[in-house]
Structure formats: C-alpha cells, structure tokens
Amino acid sequence: MNKFIWISLSLIILVGITFIVVSFTSKDIESPEYKVLKTIDDVELRLYPKMIVAKTSLTDKSFENQGSNGFRTIANYIFGGNEKNQKIAMTAPVVMEMSDSATMYFVMPKQYKKEELPNPSSKNVRIVEEEPKTLAVVSYGGYSSDKKIEKHQKELMKVLVKNQIKTKGSFMYMGYNAPWDVINRRNEVAIEIVLD
C-alpha cells in the first residue's frame, strides 16, 4: 500500500511539473511581424517594420561573455525598473548586435508608442526607434554559443556572396526562448542587406 502511495504521488508531481513546463513554453509571446520577400536555400530575406526597442550597450560582442548581462539589464526595465514601476510584456526575440560597439535589445510590444513607454531607471537602458530594414536570416535549433553563431554567420555569408547580395552593418543574433526551454529552441543569425 505504501509503495502505491509513493508511485501515485510521483505521478502527480511529474504531471504537475510537465504542466508547468508546457505552460511556460507555450505562452503566446509577441514577436515582430515581418514579410518574407524571398527564400534562398535555408536563408530568408525578411522585411521588418519600424520598431521601438529597449536597448543596452555591451562591453564586447561575445554572446557567451555578454548575453546574460545584457539580458538582465533590459529584463530589469520590463519587469518594473522604470520611473513608473510598470511591467511591460516580454517579447521575442532578444536581439544582440554583434559589432565592435555591441548592443542588445528587446522589441517593445506593438501597442506602445515611444512616448508612452516609461523612462528606464537605469542609465544603461535607452528607448529608441529602429528604422525599417531588410534582413537575411538563417535559423537553427538548440542552445547557442559563440562557436555556433560564428558557424551560422559563415553559412549565411556563403549564400549571400553566391547570390551577390550586398550586406550592411554587422551580424545580429536573435534568440526566441527562455533558458529553461529545452525543446523546440529557435535561434537566428541575421545581417541587414541592401536590395537593388
């Protein structure tokens, strides 16, 4: 009888944990809308509209060194680290611009105009408008690392060079998942392109 109680209790706990994990991973998180202009091999050419973002500067362009720090800085803003202590919904992806003057940003929910957003409490967070842009994007799964990002940057550039597509600026890493999402992870590497 005692064994039956432990098995039943274990099953209840397992079902509970599964329910919690599924509820976190299946949340309907807003992402920017974009239009796919063309697909070449595994690369999508996407047109993104103007977006309002909360952005922070990073000390270097290494995802492994700066990803967590940048994320925490901006997450603090949307979790109430602003002049109104206002919580702002999380969106995806988190974008890391991988230039020598590296930055990270969250896109603000589309319901907000720039002037409606509260001022950040931290001087390390700025609210800015990103102009419309066309990006070449390659997607991949799993957890990211500097090595994986570099591998996909090379794959992306190979397709762009082969198709004589000009680029502008530096690469971006876009991550769509919370750290506890183990399955169906979505990552992207992108770069702005110039279309004739």
> pLDDT over 90 for what percent of the chain?
74
Strand 126-130 to 35-40 pairing:
unpaired
Query: What whole-number distance in Å separates Cα of residue 155 and Cα of residue 40?
Result: 12
Q: Which residues contact 195 (CB under 8 A, 6 or more apart)?
A: 37, 45, 134, 165
Q: Is the pTM of this model over 0.85?
A: no
- Fold classification of 35-194 is Multidrug-efflux Transporter 1 Regulator Bmrr; Chain A (3.20.80)
Tens-digit pLDDT profile for residues 154-182: 999 999 999 999 999 999 999 998 778 88
Average pLDDT estimate for 90-118: 95
Q: How is the chain split into domains, by residue range? A: 35-194
Task: With cut-offs at 50, 70 and 90, classify the pLDDT of residue 21.
Answer: very low
Tens-digit pLDDT profile for residues 34-48: 999 999 999 999 999
Strand 126-130 to 51-57 pairing:
antiparallel
